[in-house]
A and B are shown apart, each in its own frame.
Chain A
Amino acid sequence: MICSYCVSSNSVGNKIYINLNETFPCVRLLNATHQIGCQSSFAGDVGVVHLLESEENLDWVLGSGPNPPYMVILESTLFTRPIMMKLKHGSQRVAGVVVVEPTTNPPDGFSPHTSCPNENTGVYSESYGPSYAHCNVTVWNPLGTGLSYEEFDFPIFSMKDSNDTEVLRRCYREHNRAVNGSTPQYPLCAMQLFSHMSAVRDTATCMRRSEIPFSLTPEEVCDPLGDENVWASTKPLNNTAKGHKEGESVVIAAAKMDSRSFFFDVAPGADGTATGLVALLAAANALRNATAELNRTILYTFFHGETFDYIGSSRMVYDMENNQFALDLDNVHSILEVGQVALGSNSRLWLHSDPVSRRNSSVNVEKLASNLHLAAAGLNISLEEPNVTQPLPPSSLQRFLRARPIPGVVIENHQASFTNKYYQSIFDNAESLQLNYSPNLTAEEQLEFVTDAAKNLTEVATAVARGLYLQAGGHPAGMNAVQADSRLVRPMLYTFLVRGKNSWSEQLVSPELASQLKDRPTNFYIGVHQQMSEPRFMVQTILANLTGTIVNVTKENCQKQKEDEEDLYYYQWVQGPLRPNSTERDSFCVRSGVRRFAAKSPAFVLREYTS
């Protein structure tokens, strides 16, 4: 008998391969005309490891290196457009790319998104404000390199800078490095990346392939991006009666709840998404007791998928036009959207509006703007309007304007181009908002800690709430009673940006869904429609608790009510707080007006994938 592994008890496989954990791939996405993103071949791609030292060193990979194909390891400072484009064109010799994620954000900013987000799906086009189309007046995201929208034929992964990365670097130094012009000899350190994607070409091709009717085992090769939008109203609206509601005039208060980055399932979206979201949630809570004084209903709407050509808002407009929603466009009085509202050293916010529709005298944007100015009076922030000739930044409001002219304002923290240096990237995180928690604090203490970001956001939320109050017909005298609660803003920011699973969030969820809370920052990526996305689940839960009322019924009755009064209300059994010195919870039933509806592009309903 042969003793094959006498010296140590590792199996042979462990002597050949090291598995890397904590990696995130870049995946294939398709739209009507293109495919973007990356993929590997079916059995994975293998290449000799090469640690890129500088842009000049690329020559080794693309030309002079004797052992192609190479697996290029990039430090994050080298993950730039010029280098990636060169690698893309040298793809015969490039087996794949691994980007090492740094531990701190790059100080100069980084954005793989396009410089003109959602360029072709907004309201500005050849027929509507052509001079504003294609970012002619303002380039919203000047740092944008557009890498997220390029197509790569090799896999690209991101790795955290940890022990595994050290092992990789050491392996390269010991075996692969060419010293003094010598050729490194086999055996060499190599790497294999698996990220095969079934989807190719464009949406129409892929959907056709998924629907081949004659196959015994029909296989879906791609899925539509989508999830659900969440809405709630200050007055109960009958959700079963779709279409126009006589006498209803609503003010839509909108925010988006998704984000993305170059890599799959990583989308911290702090300034880009979380700030607006938290501000609107806090505002909804501030108004919960003032709803009796309003003569218009406020409709809080949280759109999903806005990053990907306005999936959520385009669907809502489509549903409204086709009488598939509880209201229609004639019921909409005005729209207030909360965009990126992280405040820097100067606490200035800007009210953006659409110059084209403003020229129409029936579109009364001035009233909305003046209400907002009034609302911000006495608060620590200043609201200003930029030059009138500037178009709207990318926002859900644009999709409504495509349907008809409605007065609307978008609140943002930038006058012209974004102040967010990390738009739609992995670096738009707690650190970029300077949400610094001292490491000595426990999780409980961090939840309660008052950061500057929380303080500022509370002011913003108060301004939004008061503005909505006035716009919905509230009397200015009652305005000061409307105040956002910073004791809610703090844990909300912590939940979205630091750790989803904490004592505050655990109180709000239903027991079955408690496992959905994650021990990390929220992933704002919309994902495919079969999977529940984290932000939607959290927004719906938080909104229900913040705007709903507690009803005194048992758990069984709570469930029963859900079925009885489905038209008007939504009932949810909530875990509640922990009893002191116990693992038991005081659960209760919450009644709210929180609803969800599909956020999947109307193209999938119409089956027209080419527009």
Chain B
Amino acid sequence: LLACFLADPAPVSAGLGFLTTPDPGVPAFFWLVSLLLSSLVWFISVQISNKESAAQQKGLLIFGVVLSVLLQETFRFGYYKLLKKANEGLLTLSQEETMPISIRQLAYVSGLGFGFMSGAFSVVNILADSAGPGTIGIHGDSQHYFLSSAFMTMAIILLHMFWGVVFFDACEKRCWWAVGLVVIVHLLVSCLTFQNPDYTATLVPAYVILFGMGVWAFYTAGGSLRNLKLCLTCKDKDFLLSNHRPR
């Protein structure tokens, strides 16, 4: 896989890049590559398929979606591996004993990067089409298309973040069933969109899953109801202390 090629020559540079601020651009790039690969496969399969048969085209689309989800998760794993290597490399270089950067932070950033790029790709074409005098509906389609696209995109971005957190934590703890569950949930959400234009049937389950994943990620990241209360009332000393940087 591409991730493996990158891992060896660049652990130090990747690690150095992370010394200052974790950059969501790198995971975004990984997502982009996964999309490129999956779309290549889909494009080739469409070209060699029977263009007239609608059932075959729909089947190909489903196949494309599933393949893309699997590739994204594979790249997420690859990115995790890359980060681990980078961190170990840095550990040998620097004098400190603990990990320079929290793997949780990186999980969050990776999820954000993935979500951001995924959201951008989903929404930019739709935005371009919406920037004209017209709206959907001249052939009788539902006018809620733009609105539900926006909500769905938001859900996916947040979901990617939560998946990132859960996924990395599961990989750290070698908890493979959790990794598998993340993949399955991702597949589920993507396939929910096949119910469009019945937007209620798509959005409601998606948001339910979002809420569930959010709670799971919150607990995975070490949150609890007590922390939440303290945070909200600005009395969490640990949080305040840990973010007090030495000059």
Contacts and interface: CB of A to CB of B under 8 A. Distances in A.
Interface of A: 1-4, 6-7, 9, 11-18, 46, 171, 187, 189-190, 192
B138 A18 contact: yes
Given A6-B194, A187-B143, A1 B72 contact: yes
Given A15-B141, A16-B136, A4 B190 contact: no
A14 B133 CA distance: 14
Interface in B117-172: 118, 122, 125-126, 129, 132-139, 141, 143, 145, 149, 152-153, 156
A18 B140 CA distance: 13
B68 interface: yes
19 contacts: A1-B68, A1-B122, A2-B156, A4-B126, A4-B196, A6-B58, A6-B196, A12-B125, A12-B126, A12-B136, A12-B145, A14-B139, A15-B137, A16-B134, A171-B138, A187-B135, A187-B137, A190-B134, A192-B133
Contact of A7 (B35, B133, B149, B196): B196
Contacts of A2: 122, 149, 152-153, 156, 190, 193
Contacts of B190: 1-3
Contacts of B139: 14-15
Contacts of A9: 57
B193 A17 contact: no
Contact of A17 (B69, B134, B196): B134
Contacts of A16: 129, 132, 134-138
B223 interface: no
Given A2-B149, A17-B132, A187-B143, A7 B197 contact: yes
B188 interface: no
B124 to A, nearest CB: 11
A7 B57 CA distance: 11
Contacts, number: 69
Interface in B26-74: 35, 57-58, 61, 65, 68-69, 72
B161 to A, nearest CB: 16
A187 B145 CA distance: 13
Nearest to A175: B137
B194 A4 contact: no
Contacts of B145: 12, 15
A192 B197 CA distance: 27
Contacts of A6: 58, 61, 193-194, 196
Nearest to A45: B133
A3 B35 CA distance: 13
A563 B217 CA distance: 88
B118 A1 contact: yes
Nearest to A189: B138
Interface in B176-217: 190, 193-194, 196-197
Given A12-B136, A15-B136, 14 more contacts: A1-B68, A1-B190, A2-B193, A3-B65, A3-B194, A4-B193, A6-B193, A6-B194, A7-B197, A12-B126, A15-B137, A17-B134, A18-B138, A187-B137
A1 B129 CA distance: 19
B194 A46 contact: no
Nearest to A47: B133
A402 B1 CA distance: 88
A6 B191 CA distance: 10
B61 A3 contact: yes
A47 to B, nearest CB: 10
A13 B194 contact: no
A9 B61 CA distance: 10
Nearest to A13: B129
Contacts of B35: 1
A6 B139 CA distance: 16
Contacts of B72: 1
Nearest to A171: B138
B138 A17 contact: yes
Interface string B216-235: 00000000000000000000
Contacts of B125: 4, 12
A17 B136 CA distance: 8
